[in-house]
Chain A
Amino acid sequence: GQSLEQPSEVTAVEGAIVQINCTYQTSGFYGLSWYQQHDGGAPTFLSYNGLDGLEETGRFSSFLSRSDSYGYLLLQELQMKDSASYFCAVRVYNQGGKLIFGQGTELSVKP
């Protein structure tokens, strides 16, 4: 089976940098994704790591280390609008690469 662990809550101030970690146990997967979900909204895709290393997309970066079964999402220059839930997810080998989600991290950005 698969399991992904994330901190349940993180709090930071505007302009700061925050890192949301994701550790996983899975038998095999294509890559690690990150999704953002605002309260009452649909999850939206943020980033994907198919290979080890860092992927950068604007203020957001994501990292994967398969040898450590670990990844993280880094958010820089935090803004109030970044307050949301963030989910890591693995795309597993079977069933055409279904997406299995972690429990989510609620990020609160304070002024």
Chain B
Amino acid sequence: SAVISQKPSRDICQRGTSLTIQCQVDSQVTMMFWYRQQPGQSLTLIATANQGSEATYESGFVIDKFPISRPNLTFSTLTVSNMSPEDSSIYLCSVRQGADLYEQYFGPGTRLTVT
């Protein structure tokens, strides 16, 4: 299993600013993912972040808006840039310890409110 922590747990931000969310895992993992979840909604994949390569973004998400870093096998950051109220959501980090494994672990999430 993997234990994931995220910082901050929640934040209230002004529109036009940026917020960087940190994801720390207690073990080395191959694959990391960033998801967005509106309250009461499903999880939408933003991007896949594998160490040593550029993040792969899903349709509707772009690097300029959601830059991601993955400097090592236990850490990643997601930045939400130039925020608008539509970015208000819960952002979740998720990991899988191997490409051939099926169980994914999720962090507690970062609840972002943009005013």
Q: What is A's interface to B at a CB cutoff of 8 Å? A: 30-31, 33, 41-45, 48, 50, 87, 91, 95-104
Binds A, one of B13-21, B61-69, B72-80, B101-109: B101-109
In the complex, A102→B102 CA distance in Å? 16
- Which of chain B's residues have a CB closer than 8 A to the CB of A97? 96, 99-100, 102
B101 and chain A: residue at smallest CB distance: A97
Q: Is A96's CB under 8 angstroms from B104's CB? A: no
Known: A96-B50, A100-B45. A42 touches B99 (CB 8 A): no
- The reply to whether A87 and B42 contact each other, CB–CB distance below 8 Å, is yes
Known: A96-B31, A99-B33, A101-B42. A45 touches B103 (CB 8 A): yes
**Chain B contact residues, CB within 8 Å of chain A:** 4, 30-31, 33, 41-45, 48, 50, 56, 92, 94, 96, 99-100, 102-109
Are B50 and A43 in touch, CB under 8 angstroms?
no
Helix, strand, loop or mixed for chain B's interface?
strand
B50 to A48, Cβ gap below 8 A? no
Given the interface pairs A96-B50, A98-B33, A99-B33, the reply to whether A43 lies near B45 with Cβ below 8 Å is no
Bound complex: CA A95 to CA B50 (Å) = 10
Number of A-B contacts defined by CB within 8 Å: 52
Chain A residues whose C-beta falls within 8 Å of the C-beta of B103 in the assembled complex: 33, 45, 48
A2 to chain B, nearest CB (A): 11
Contact residues in B for A45 (Cβ distance below 8 Å): 103-105
Contact partners of A99 in chain B: CB under 8 A? 33, 45, 94, 104
What A residues does B107 contact at CB under 8 A? 42
* B residues near A96, Cβ cutoff 8 Å: 30-31, 48, 50, 99
**A30 — which chain B residues lie within 8 A by C-beta?**
102
Contact of A87 among B43, B48, B102 (CB under 8 A): B43
Contact across chains for B102 and A33 when beta carbons are under 8 A apart:
yes
